[in-house]
């Protein structure tokens, strides 16, 4: 379980943050660590087919792991900030800041502020120019990545097109 019980018992829907679902793939010893972040709540993100496909394609590789991160709801964000607790991955409860890559899907423009909030909750500098070499590379794809300019100051690189086709 990634978060302390003191936080989870006060969250409105704690199951969103515990992980351990059937077919989840914890691979803590992988060489390349990718945290896939959906900048919306668990329920919305888990219904996204692109997340499911990329999660499967990365995790089927022996050298790589893909763990999931979702934007917390307002109540959980408040609890995390009060406890000075960073956002963690679902599979292993790991710090997102310790991954090699943090990938966002940009499905619509209104999620841009969630991306920035998630970076802040993960203790990752928001602006790309302010990140040190040991920070994860921040990448983004999805429909809104076709116009990367609004998020260019915050994202290290964009994937334009269907990532699923290149990962297969």
- Structural domains of the chain sorted by starting position, each given as residue range(s) with its CATH number in brackets: 33-167 (3.40.50)
pLDDT at 168: 65
Is residue 41 scored above 90 in pLDDT? yes
pLDDT at 163: 76
84: left (phi over 0), alpha (psi -120 to 50) or beta: left
Residue-wise pLDDT tens digits, 100-140:
999 999 999 999 999 999 999 999 999 999 999 999 999 99
Residue 164 in tokens: 């699923």
pLDDT at 1: 55
Query: For a pLDDT cut of 90, what percent of the chain falls above it?
Result: 85
If DSSP states are collapsed to H, E and C, what string results for the chain? Answer: CCCCHHHHCCCCCHHHHCCCCCCCCCCCCCCEEEEEEECCCHHHHHCCHHHHHHHHHHHCCCCEEEEEEECCCHHHHHHHHHCCCCCECCCCCCEHHHCCEEEEECCCHHHHHHHHHHHHHCCCCCCHHHCCCCCCEEEEECHHHHCCHHHCCCCCEECCCCHHHHHC
pLDDT at 23: 86
Residue-wise pLDDT tens digits, 8-38:
999 999 999 999 888 898 888 899 999 999 9
pLDDT at 162: 76
What pTM does this model have?
Answer: 0.93
Is residue 68 scored above 90 in pLDDT? yes
Query: For a pLDDT cut of 70, what percent of the chain falls above it?
Result: 98
């Amino acid at each position: 379980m990634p978060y302390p019980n003191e936080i989870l018992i006060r969250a409105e829907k704690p199951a969103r943050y515990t992980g351990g679902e059937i077919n989840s793939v914890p691979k803590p010893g992988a060489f390349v660590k990718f945290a896939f972040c959906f900048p919306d709540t668990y329920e919305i993100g888990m219904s996204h087919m692109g997340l499911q496909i990329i999660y499967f394609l990365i995790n089927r590789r022996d050298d790589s792991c893909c763990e999931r991160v979702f934007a917390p709801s307002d109540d959980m964000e408040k609890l995390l900030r009060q406890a000075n607790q960073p956002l963690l991955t679902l599979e292993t409860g790991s710090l997102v800041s310790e991954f090699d890559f943090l990938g966002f899907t940009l499905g619509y423009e209104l999620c841009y502020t969630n991306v920035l909030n998630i970076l802040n909750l993960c203790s990752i500098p928001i602006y790309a120019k302010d990140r040190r070499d040991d920070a994860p590379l921040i990448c983004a794809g999805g429909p809104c990545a076709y116009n990367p300019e609004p998020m260019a100051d915050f994202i290290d690189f964009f994937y334009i097109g269907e990532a699923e086709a290149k990962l297969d």
